[in-house]
Amino acid sequence: MILYRDDYRPAVDEAIDLYRTSTLGERRPIDDEARFKQMLAHANLTVTAWDGGLLVGISRCVTDFVWTTYLADLAVRLSHQCQGIGKELIRRTQAAAPQAKLLLLAAPAAENYYPHIGFAHFPQAWMLRAGDEIVR
């Protein structure tokens, strides 16, 4: 049985192991432990999924709880995918901030997953990446 928690932030090593085994680690700074630790610490909504003592899923978000929730990371261990864990993490994330819209940037491998569970695509989003400068 999978236990879901929103009252506990996983240890950095547990989270790094999850990201590595979910393939999300390919796009996150898991080899920069200090930076990764700050990512976890500054998320203000984190929902986790546990199979016994093993972290098997995470929803890591930044939210104001009333207007917008940015789902920065949704990761499920490959060994536990296709069991509804990702959907349940999203459901619990949405329930924690029911007035807020839920936004995310999909990883290329997951682009077909999100429309399947009810997300709509909005191509008008814009992004300024870290290190980019505003054009004067």
Helix (H) or strand (E) holding 85: helix 85-96
- Reported pTM: 0.91
Q: How many domains does the chain have?
A: 1
Query: In this structure, is residue 73 part of a structural domain?
Result: yes
Residue 133 located in a structural domain: no
Residue 54's CATH number: 3.40.630.30
Q: Is residue 28 part of a domain?
A: yes
Residue 136 inside a domain? The answer is no
Distance CA(97)–CA(126), nearest Å, equals 24
Phi, psi of 27 (to 5 degrees): -120, 15
| Model confidence pLDDT, tens digit, residues 41-82 | 999 999 999 999 999 999 999 999 999 999 999 999 999 999
Pick the residue with more confidence: 135 or 75?
75
Whether 75 is covered by a domain: the verdict is: yes
pLDDT beyond 80 at 10: yes
Cβ neighbours around 44 below 10 Å, total: 13
CA distance 17 to 91: 24
Both structure tokens of 16:
């790094």
Range of the domain at 101: 2-116
